[in-house]
Amino acid sequence: MMAHALKLEHLIREHLSELLSSSAFSHVDRMKRFLRYVVEEMLARRYENLNEYRIGLEVFDREPTFDPGKDPIVRVHARRLRSRLSCYYEGKGRNGQIQIELPEASYTPVVHRRGTSSLKYALAKALSSRNTITVLPFADHSPNGDRAYFCAGIREEIINALAKLGPVRVFLAPTGMEVGTTRAATIIGGGVCASGSELRIIVHSIDADTGSYLWSETLDRALSGHPKTGHVWPPENRT
């Protein structure tokens, strides 16, 4: 693993230890076990274990015959965990470097670093409860219309990132696809505009049934430099 990934993983583990030893979690052993399990599985990229059945077995000591549809123990404790995390970050943890969130309708934690954002994991957060996605070709809005290769690369990077998120299913976007004609719950689209040494990438997600916007973000970067936004876990590959 590269130095960037190791450093980020160390920060997350350090924060998790601080969080679990805080007064917010001092007398809730089962909830501590729940949080530790989902974060450790996320760090190990074992996304296939971040589901209600596996958590029931590993965290709540249920038998292999455990039926999440009949026994809501994981869902009940997940709601309590989300509430406890929210209270912690509104209080003692409000100035921390790292923040861990368990999105609604998901057991895959999302990790944020204060003052930074990431296209890849902002998307993961926005789409955590809408796990069927299609990614449209990105539009080239540059004055000379010469960024088609870059637009194609951005799309491929997003598809590749989403395809690694475990519960997310990415559908192929057919030619001429319109809102309301895809099997996916969410459509990802956007465009690229380059002017001089500046590059702007616009990404948005759309509800496939209604056509309404769910999320949007603009990222600016210098063509010869590094992006102005930061990173969260899992880290992007770097040399």
The predicted pLDDT at position 216 comes to 75
Q: How far is CA 90 from the centre of its chain?
A: 21
User: For position 114, what pLDDT does the model report?
Assistant: 62
pLDDT for 153 equals 86
At 199, list the tokens: 């590059």
Give dist(CA 125, CA 106) in Å, integer: 10
Alpha-carbon span 63 to 50, nearest angstrom: 17
**Which two three-digit tokens encode residue 49?**
């274990």
Tokens of 196: 């001089």
pLDDT confidence of residue 118: 47
Asked whether the bond before 234 is cis by omega within 30 degrees of 0, the reply is: yes
Q: How far apart, in whole angstroms, are the C-alpha atoms of residue 130 and residue 152?
A: 24
Instruction: Tell how strand 169-171 and strand 132-135 pair up.
Output: parallel
CA-to-CA distance for 224 and 44, rounded, in angstroms? 33
Q: State the Cα–Cα distance between residues 215 and 133, nearest whole angstrom.
A: 14
Is the pTM here over 0.75, yes or no? Answer: no
Per-residue pLDDT of the chain in tens (239 residues, 90 and over written 9): 345 556 778 888 899 999 999 988 988 999 999 999 999 998 887 878 889 999 999 999 999 999 999 999 999 999 999 999 988 888 888 777 788 888 777 888 877 766 544 444 444 544 444 568 888 888 888 777 777 888 888 888 888 888 777 667 787 765 555 555 566 778 888 888 876 677 788 888 887 766 767 777 777 776 654 444 433 444 544 43
Report the amino acid identity of residue 224: S
Question: What pLDDT does residue 189 have?
Answer: 85
Position 231, amino acid: H
Residue 80 is predicted with a pLDDT of 93
DSSP letter for each residue of 167-226:
S-EEE---TT--TTSSSSSEEEEEEEEEETTEEEEEEEEEETTT--EEEEEEEEEETTS-
Tokens 């509430």 belong to which residue?
83
What pLDDT sits at residue 177?
Answer: 52
Of 36, 46, 48, the closest CA to residue 12 belongs to 36
Q: What is the rounded distance in angstroms from the CA atom of residue 76 to the CA atom of residue 63?
A: 18
108, 42 contact by CB (below 8 A): yes
